[in-house]
Every structure is written in structure tokens, then in C-alpha cells.
Structure 1
């Protein structure tokens, strides 16, 4: 039975917010604050370039998934037998490692809000995230939750940005004419916004909802751009909030830079707002990471697809158990971060190779300009991702 127009719009918006809120996790908040502290107003240029690259990545991936009506791992196996298995292993490993950090971030958020132990807060967050997948229409519940939390984060961060009184004029000038350009910051932002499992969160959600095929390409394109727009709006206002604090010469707490931005901008009330933002960001990232990671396992056994929601809950439970019993394994997270930089060029390159194979995409004609742009991102991310991985492996040798 065809989906109604209203339900269709809701799913498209839900996919956009799922992608955006999957990107906006604890790492996203910290990255933005730290880079603002080091680059000041010139960080606006980094955001601008990363947004352009992000849109190029998502337009390529979402359109090819929709045109092929297949999940990324199935597309990869058609491009090269076994490649889909390898990509799935990387995505699931990275998703699990980062989910441990997401649970930890939620625990810190609850600690700020209520003073409870981070481990207890992480457990509460896991229970909330898991409960989403106990609902009969879990996909619809996930869409609505992502939208609600995304809008809440935008409102809270906008409030703090206004309170911090940033030098907007300087930010605009430096966005187009920066004092310095930090390539590593650009790659970090791209990897953190559309790398790893995040690349496929929205595309796989639309596939599960049945919004696929050549006729759906315009809708899919709009949803992809919307997802990047939401994540970028949050990034820009968080940047402005941090810039307002940094420009006054105030020092950020190195142990928790984003929390100190909120506190310095709006006092103790701002500190509590940070807790709420952290909880919202972490729980939505837990949901996005678990859902997308498990979507890469569905092709390997029918029982995983039939019991998808329970497998997702199990994924969340394992992430929480590791955090509560061991904490965040630093070397695992660092290695996973480096792998995240490698997953993007590998997966995007695979999608681009598939775009022009009729056995995969049928009669769909992928825009040449979009493919060229995609290959440019592949080359740049592959080089810098490989360099970063070698650095980390050498350092921890």
C-alpha cells in the first residue's frame, strides 16, 4: 500500500533529522568548541567548506541507495564480491566503539543535570534509547524522537549563542577570508558529520520506509540536503556561542570545553542547559548508531532482519555494558576515529563505482558533476585518513 503524502513527508524529515542527530553527538560538541578556541572566527571558513563537502557526500550516497533500492553492503558486494562484508565489519566496529562514547556522553549529561553517577546516567540513556525500539511502529517513533531532540538542541544552542554576544561581523568576514586554513579541522568535521555509519543513517532509513526508486530521487535529494542543513545550523550556532566566549578572552575548561562555553555564557543555568543538550545529543546518537550499524547486518541472516529491533536493543546493551564495566577504551576509540576517516572514502568510492553499473542502478543516470565532486572527496579523505591512521598506529606502537 503506498505511503500517504503526509506520512511520506514525515519520513523524509525524520530521515534528515536521524542523519543530523546521529552526527551531533558528544564528539561533535567537543570538536566544534575546541576548533573555535584554536581558530577563533576563522573556524567559520572550516565550517563552510565542510558543509559543501558534506552535501556532496550525502547527495551521492543517498541518491545511489535510492536508485539501486539496495543497502550499502549489498551494493558493495555487487561491485566486488566480499567488499560488502568488509565494509559492514568496519561500520559495525566503528559504530560500537563510538556508541560507547555516546553512552558515556549521556552519562556526563545526566551528571550535570541531576548529579548522578555517569554510569547510572549512561544506563538511563540506554533504557530511553532502547525503549524507542519496543514501540510497535519503531521507525515512526525514531523519526519523531530525532525531530524533537534536534529542534530542542537548536533552540537551546541558539539561546546560548545569543547570550554569549559573539562578534558576528568578524565571523562573517573570516568565513570568506580566514586568517588561516586548517585542513585537518576540515577533514575532522567532514568525518564527524558524514563519516562511518552516519553516511548511511538517512539513506537506509528511507530504504526501510520504502522511499526508493528513480521517481523518489528528488525527494531523497531534498531530505539529504535537509539533514546536512540541520547539522550545520547546530554547528554554526555552537560556533557562535563558543566564539562569543573566546573573543572576550575567557578561558575554557580543558576537561570539558563545551560545558564551560555554556557556563561562561549563561552562568549556572547555562551549565544545566549544557547537560540537557549533551543528553539530547548523546541519546539521539545512540539511536542512530545502533539502528544504522544493525542495518549493515540485516543482509547476512534472515533472523537479523526479522528481529531487527531486538538486535538493535542488544547493540545498545553491549555498548552500555562496556561503558559501565570498563569505561571508554581510549586506544579503541582513537583507532576507531582513524578508521572513520578511512570508511568514508572506501564507502563513497564504492557507491560512485556502483552509480554507473546498470545491474545495480538500472536506468538511473547519475549526474557527472556530482560524481566528479564525490571522487574529489574520496581522494582527499583517503590521503588524510591514511596519514592519520599511520600517525596513531606509530604513536601507540
Structure 2
């Protein structure tokens, strides 16, 4: 992939403490004017932020939210709250460790224990394949809802669009701008839906903090679909590729991660409220595609078209995020762009073919992928926390905040507990699908 930036010796050799606001970070092209550089850097940071946010609210999340809101009603707000809190703790640590070190997660893992990084990469790859099958299916469903076109053709067209973006000469810039635009579209459509369905806000608020029922499999599945697997590293790996790394960029790294979490959280709660507004009326929805039926009930004939737009936008950004991040786990900083392009092509073709052969119902597949990623999350997060705790040398001597490390450890223990609690449910979920 021809990224937005390439290494430059003139900036790479400038010590962090001597850099100014107009000095390109290591790994970025020098710019003759400060404002030009600032715009480039701002676009890269926004791209990383929205890549994380849109990856976390793909078709899997839409499917999960619609299905579980239909099953649990307002009590599902509690699961979203827990997923947001876990998201905050995980992403703050992941962005800080990887951003300061400037190392991809698998490289960091291999430096801690040889082979550990590649074991993590193998798990991320498997989860990425499963998730991207669902993403492509979601794109096909979105196109079908918008135009009536066969879902398989719609999925294939979406894959071609994604591949063209990756193979473009300015792929990094194109990726950043597209995910930012798509994120804005999702937010606007979710606001429109939430206002239209007029959900019971008081009941939703109460059960978000004091739910009538708690389902650990639901919580783990939601966490896996919004922060587990490749999604954990999507924004941070894009940040590393843009060159905005190191101790001198800690403030920007933290702000970007927090804003990304905020964007994802807003979209999550808006979608939940939009579906809840329909569910609270007692309307029966089609269990094999709850989300589409909810949009149709809320908006009438145009509802299916709006659902198609929402689902396709969520799917195409998730295809981009999943492909980009999964391939980043198969490469190193020395991997040539031509090789990366072949990886992008291979990954997209593989996941497209598997979906066509598998024929698994998209709703079950997307929920199952989230549950799997939720069980993988503790391993990858352990690598991050160990580096923060014991490997200051990998963080360029950075003194890691104790409060952030403690928050991370408590969250890690929680993910282990939920992952173990959900293993049995994960097997039965696939069998029932």
C-alpha cells in the first residue's frame, strides 16, 4: 500500500526534545510550510481516530445491538455501558503503549517473548477472517436493501471498492478521509433514527445503570465486537503508520484515542436508542434480520433504504479497517508496499470466497465473531500491559502512569472472567446458528 507518508532521514534524525510543532515526526515526509504539515498530521490523527471508531461500530455491532435490544430491551444499555468502560481502559493503554513505542503489537510481543507476537498475529488473523466474512456479507445486505441488487454482487462490488482504495497511490490519505466521512454519515443517520423512534429515555437511563437482567455472554460478545480482535489495534496501528509516535506525541495520542472512544460510544448509544424506540412499542420484528425490520417499522417504505445506507457505510469502513489492521499483523516496517498490496488482495479474496462457500447466516456469524474476539482480547491486552509494567526500554524510557496501568490490569481481569464465563455459550451459539 502506498501510505500517506514515507520515512525521511532529515526528520528521523531530529531528537524528540528538539522537535518543534513544524517538525515532521519520524516516518513522515517533510513539508515546506507549517500549516501544510499540520493539516497532514491532523488528517492522519483523525483517520486513526475514525478508523478505530468505525471499526467498532460495523455491521456486527449493528446486528448485535438490534438483536440484543430486541431480546433484553432497555437492559441492553447496561451491556453497552460496560463495553464503553472496557473500551476506554483498553484503548487508552493500547494507544499509549504502541504509540510511544512506535511498534506494531506483534513486534512488541516478539520483543517480550520470541514467537508470542506471531501467536497473537495468528489469532488476530483468524478473528479478522471471520469478521471480514461478516463485513462483506453486511456490505452485500446493505447494497441489496438500497438497490435490490443481489447481495452477493453487492458484496463483490464493495470488496472491489476497498481494494481500489488500498491500491491507490495515496492510499493512506484516501483511507483517512473516507473513514472520517463515513463516520460523520453514521452519526447523522443515527441521530435521525433516534429522534424518529422516540425511545423511552427515562427507562433506558435507569436500566443502563441498574438493569433488570445481566447476560455475560451478551456483554462479552458486545465487547468482542467493539474492542476485541483486530479492532483493539486498528487505530493504534494506523497511528504508527502515519508516523505520529514517540514520547513527544503522548498528548496527541491520548487526545485522539479519547475522541475516538467518544465517537464510537455516541454511535453505539444512538443506535441502541433508535432500536429501543421500536422495541418498546411491542412491535414484533423478524428475528433473522432485526435491524432491517426495525428501520422499516420506524420509517416506513424508505426505512429499508436508510437501513441499507447505514449498513453499507458501516460495512465498507469495517472492511477497510479489518483488512488494513489484519494485514498490519502480517507485516513489519520493512515490508515493501508491493508485498502489502498482495496481502490486501489475498485477504479480501480469501474472505470473499469463504463467505460464498460457507453460506452461514450473517446474523449468527457476526454475533459469533464478536464472541470469539472477546475471548482473544485478554491475551493481546496482556502483552500491552506487560510492556507498560516491565519493559520501559521498549517505550523509549517513558515513565508509564501507574493509574493507567492499574486501570488496565483491573479491566484485563474482568475480560478474563467474562471470557471464561462465555466459552460454553460461544460453542452453543454456533451450533444453534
TM range (shorter): over 0.9
Report matched runs for 1:240-259 at 5 Å: 240-259=273-292
User: Partners in 1 of 2:207 and 2:136 — Cα distance?
Assistant: 36
User: Partners in 1 of 2:395 and 2:328 — Cα distance?
Assistant: 20
What is the match of residue 209 of structure 1?
Answer: 242
Please say if residues 119 and 323 of structure 1, whose CA atoms lie closer than 8 Å, have aligned partners that are also in contact: no
SS at match of 1:307: helix
- Say which of 94, 98, 113 aligns to 1:65: 98
SS at match of 2:199: coil
Is the aligned partner of 1:308 residue 2:343? no
User: Partners in 2 of 1:182 and 1:371 — Cα distance?
Assistant: 28
What is the match of residue 15 of structure 2?
Answer: none
Please say if residues 193 and 274 of structure 2, whose CA atoms lie closer than 8 Å, have aligned partners that are also in contact: yes
User: Partners in 2 of 1:57 and 1:260 — Cα distance?
Assistant: 34
SS at match of 2:167: coil
Q: 1:372 to 1:154 in 2, by over 3 A?
A: same
Q: 1:185 to 1:220 in 2, by over 3 A?
A: same
Is the aligned partner of 1:167 residue 2:173? no
SS at match of 1:12: helix
User: Partners in 1 of 2:336 and 2:371 — Cα distance?
Assistant: 29
- 1:217-270 residue CA offsets vs partner (Å, 9 max, x unmatched): 111111111111111111111111111111111112101011111111111111
Please say if residues 217 and 421 of structure 2, whose CA atoms lie closer than 8 Å, have aligned partners that are also in contact: no
Instruction: Give the C-alpha shift of residue 374 in structure 1.
Output: 1.2
Report matched runs for 1:70-89 at 5 Å: 70-89=103-122
Q: 1:396 to 1:242 in 2, by over 3 A?
A: closer
5+ residue gaps, structure 1, are: none
**RMSD across aligned C-alpha pairs, in angstroms?**
2.2
Q: 1:186 to 1:326 in 2, by over 3 A?
A: closer
User: Partners in 2 of 1:91 and 1:101 — Cα distance?
Assistant: 15
What is the match of residue 349 of structure 2?
Answer: 317
What is the match of residue 266 of structure 2?
Answer: 233
Instruction: Give the C-alpha shift of residue 80 in structure 1.
Output: 1.2
What is the match of residue 159 of structure 2?
Answer: 126
Instruction: Give the C-alpha shift of residue 389 in structure 1.
Output: 2.9
Please say if residues 121 and 330 of structure 2, whose CA atoms lie closer than 8 Å, have aligned partners that are also in contact: yes
What is the match of residue 411 of structure 2?
Answer: 377
User: Partners in 2 of 1:395 and 1:246 — Cα distance?
Assistant: 23
- 1:121-164 residue CA offsets vs partner (Å, 9 max, x unmatched): 11011011111112211011001110111111111121111111
What is the match of residue 397 of structure 2?
Answer: 363
Q: Would you say how many aligned residue pairs link Structure 1 and Structure 2?
A: 396
What is the match of residue 152 of structure 1?
Answer: 185
Report matched runs for 1:44-59 at 5 Å: 44-59=77-92
TM-score, structure 1 length as denominator? Answer: 0.94
Please say if residues 134 and 365 of structure 2, whose CA atoms lie closer than 8 Å, have aligned partners that are also in contact: no
What is the match of residue 22 of structure 1?
Answer: 55
* Deviation larger for 213-222 or 320-329: 320-329
* Deviation larger for 138-147 or 323-332: 323-332
What is the match of residue 173 of structure 2?
Answer: 140
5+ residue gaps, structure 2, are: 1-10, 12-23, 29-36
Is the aligned partner of 1:93 residue 2:126? yes
Please say if residues 65 and 203 of structure 1, whose CA atoms lie closer than 8 Å, have aligned partners that are also in contact: yes
SS at match of 1:169: helix
Instruction: Give the C-alpha shift of residue 323 in structure 1.
Output: 2.0
User: Partners in 2 of 1:395 and 1:166 — Cα distance?
Assistant: 29
Report matched runs for 1:272-311 at 5 Å: 272-299=305-332, 302-303=334-335, 306-311=338-343
Q: 1:391 to 1:34 in 2, by over 3 A?
A: closer
